[in-house]
Structure 1
Amino acid sequence: MDVNSWFEVEDPEEYGEEPWDFDEAELAFLAALRARAADWQVPWAPSQVGRPEDESSFLVHISLLDEARRLVLAEWAVHFYGTHVLAGKVCDQLFNLHESPEHGFFRASGTVEELAERCADWFESLLSRPVDDDEAVRDELTRRVDRYVPVGIDEPRGRGYHRLA
Structure 2
Amino acid sequence: MSGTSWFLLDDPADELELDEAELAFVARLQELAQSWAVSRAGSWVGRSEEDSLLVCVTLSDRERRVSLLNIGVHVTAGSMKGDRLHSQLHFLPDEPTDLAVEALGGPNELAAQAASWFEAVLSRPLARCEWAHAGQVYATEWMFWDTGEPLVRGIDRRLAPPPGEATDGGARGFWANLAKPDRVVMVRSADANADNETDQGSPAA
TM band (smaller chain): 0.7 to 0.9
Q: Which of residues 29, 36, 45 in structure 2 aligns to 1:40?
A: 36
Aligned match of 1:51: 47
1:106 positional shift: 2.1
What corresponds to 1:127 in structure 2? 122
**Correspondences of 1:19-98 after superposition (within 5 Å):** 19-52=15-48, 54-98=49-93
Separation (CA, whole Å) in 1 of partners of 2:58 and 2:16: 21
**Which residue of structure 2 lines up, in the alignment, with residue 9 of structure 1?**
9
After TM superposition, give the deviation of residue 141 of structure 1 in Å: 5.3
CA deviation map 1:35-88 (0-9, x unaligned): 110111111111000012x24200000011101211111110100102000100
Counterparts of 1:114 and 1:41 in 2: how far apart (Å)? 21
Amino acid in the other structure paired with 2:8: E
Separation in 2 of the partners of 1:64 and 1:85?
Answer: 21
Q: 1:135 to 1:38 in 2, by over 3 A?
A: same
- 1:9 is paired with a residue whose SS is coil
Match of 1:116 among 111, 118, 132: 111
What RMSD, in angstroms, separates the aligned Cα atoms of the two structures? 2.4
Higher helix proportion (structure 1 or 2): 1
Higher relative contact order (CA 8 A, sep 6+): 1
Moved more, 117-126 or 133-142: 133-142
Under a length normalisation based on structure 2, what TM-score does the superposition of the two structures give?
0.60
Gap regions ≥5 residues in structure 1: 13-17, 143-155, 158-165
TM-score, with structure 1 as normaliser: 0.73
Name the % identity. Answer: 37
Q: Gapped runs of 5+ residues in structure 2?
A: 129-140, 145-149, 155-169, 172-205
Q: Which amino acid aligns with 1:11?
A: D
CA–CA distance in structure 2, aligned partners of residues 78 and 28 of structure 1? 15
Deviations 1:102-141 (A, max 9, x none): 2x11221111111100100000010101114324496445
Instruction: Classify 1:73/1:136 alpha carbon distance in 2 versus 1 (closer, same or farther; 3 Å).
Output: farther
